[in-house]
Each structure stands twice: as structure tokens, then as C-alpha cells.
Amino acid sequence: MEDLKKTIEQMTARDRKPVKHKPVNKQESGGDLESWGRNNGAAGDVGGDVCPDCLGRGFVVGSDDVAVRCVCMDVQMMNNRIKSARLAKELVKCRLDAFDFSYYNDKGGKSSQDEGKGRRDEGEYLLSARKAWQAARDFVDGVMGDPNHIGLMYSGQAGSGKTYLAAAIANELVRQNKSVLFVVVPDLLDEMRATFDRKDVSEYDLLDMAKTVPILILDDLGAHNYTDWTVNRIYSILNYRVNEKLPLIVTTNLHHGDIACHLGERTSSRLLQMCRVFKLDVPQDIRRQQYNVREKG
């Protein structure tokens, strides 16, 4: 928790003078920003209780008798950015510096895509993972200085770490005050369909959100049952963003040639124009590896 408080204070150091705050109990807070701040109802709350530093006022008086914003308000701001990014609880934990390369060490097994072809070179999985990770790191660094930085597309089998890397990128950018939207493609399309029976939000509201957000992450642009309606909506989002030079991150279980089959040549071409493409493979589904470790323990 102390590391997270330090990160938050560093993010806002230019806006406030340093003030010594009482440490928040790590056991009670859950040890991370998501569990401490995500469910807070208002600034001045810590885990549902009144902040012990500012007593719910949102500011504290420093040693020089000057009132400054309390760190709990910075946590609430971070909380709001996480909610705006639409990151699920499990994805909030993803970090680039916690990416586990050991899953890509081939210990003799075959990936589902290599059956009948013989085992891949032992270092090939790890090499592709390192390239994909470095691309994520480069994107985060690049987009901080260039809002029109070229995006990324990660392809590969299920359980190869694509969504983890995309979510890690989102978390890195949220921590640096960037506006990010993380959406699962099937869920977004379902939400659009659901607007047909709603009056409070329209399909075009959701389309506009995906089109105009500074950084968009489309997770699971995969082998779904796409109709002409869904293909046109996805193309509309991509076409707007490519024309406005807005960055895009995509994860997919399709090869690039298969994307054209499912979504059309127009969409496939736009993705190549907008993104650098990286392939992630693993000897065995990461979730299966995690399951095996969990059950052995």
C-alpha cells in the first residue's frame, strides 16, 4: 500500500506540497489501489470509512499551516480513471513489470498449434514473448510523448498472455493520467444491440465513445459470428480512429489473413495501417499451467 501511495503522490507532486500522511493499514486495504479505492463512494473515504488523515474534508493542513489536498482525493481520482477505463477487477492487477516470462519456457510440451508439426525451438516462445513485452513498453513510453503513436495488435492462441499485456498497458497509462477505454469486443457489440430497447443511452453514444477516446483497447477481436451489422460497426470505429490518428491496441486469436475472412479486407487493411503486429505463443495454455500449479499446491 505504501508503494501505491507513493506512486499516487508522485503523480500529483506538481500540484501539491508534500505532506506527511498516516499510513493506511495494508491488511485492511487489501494491499493494492483497486481494493482500497475502487469502491469508495466519495473523496475522504477509505475502504468505506472516513479518511483518518482529512476526516472526510478532502484536505489536510501541512506543517506550514497551508491546506493541501489529501492523498485520499488522489486515490479517488485514480479510482475514477480505472472505472472510466472499464477495467475488470482481475485486469486491474496486470502490470508490465510483473509479466511472467517463465510461462514461455518450453519444457518439452507442444502448443495446441504445433500438434503434428513437431516441437518448436525451445527459445522461440520466449523470444516472441520478449518482443511482445518490449513492444508494450515502447508503446507506453511512445504515447506519452506522441498522442498519435502507432498501436499494437497481439495475436495468438487462447491463454497466451495477450489480454494480460493489453491490460498492463492500460494500467500503466491510467497511472500516468491518460484516458483509456478497455472493451471486450463481443461485450461492446452486445451493449450496442441492447440499446435498441433503451432510452437512456443509444448505440451512437457507445460508438462515439469507442471512436473518440484517446486510447482504445479492443480485446478479443476473435472468431465470432459476425453479421454485416457488427462488421460495419467495427469498421466504423477503426476508420474514424485511423483518420484521426488515434492509437489502438487489439488482441485476437486470429491470424491476420483470417481477420480478412471474418471482418473483411477493409477492416484487415485498417488494422495493418494502425498497428504493429506481434504473435504470442506458449507451450501450454497459461491458465492450464496456473491450474496445474494450483492443484499440485
Domain ranges of the chain: 2-85, 89-286
pTM for the full predicted model:
0.71
275-280 vs 151-156, strand pairing mode: parallel
Give exposure, 17-27, as e/b (b: 16+ Cβ within 10 Å): eebebeebeee
> Tens digits of per-residue pLDDT, 87-113?
778 888 899 999 999 999 875 444 444
Q: Where are the beta strands (DSSP E) in 41-150?
A: 45-46, 49-50, 59-61, 67-69
- Could you tell me which residue, 54 or 28, shows the higher pLDDT? 54
**Residue 183: what pLDDT?**
92
> Quick check: 241 pLDDT over 80?
yes
> Tens digits of per-residue pLDDT, 180-237?
999 999 988 888 888 887 777 788 888 988 999 999 999 999 867 889 999 999 999 9
Partners of 279 in the beta sheet?
155
Q: Taking all residues of the chain, what is their mean pLDDT, rounded to a whole number?
A: 77
Using pLDDT thresholds of 50, 70 and 90, give the confidence band for residue 74.
low
- Could you tell me which residue, 58 or 179, shows the higher pLDDT? 179
**Residue 268: what pLDDT?**
93
Topology of the domain comprising 89-286: Rossmann fold (3.40.50)
- Could you tell me which residue, 248 or 27, shows the higher pLDDT? 248
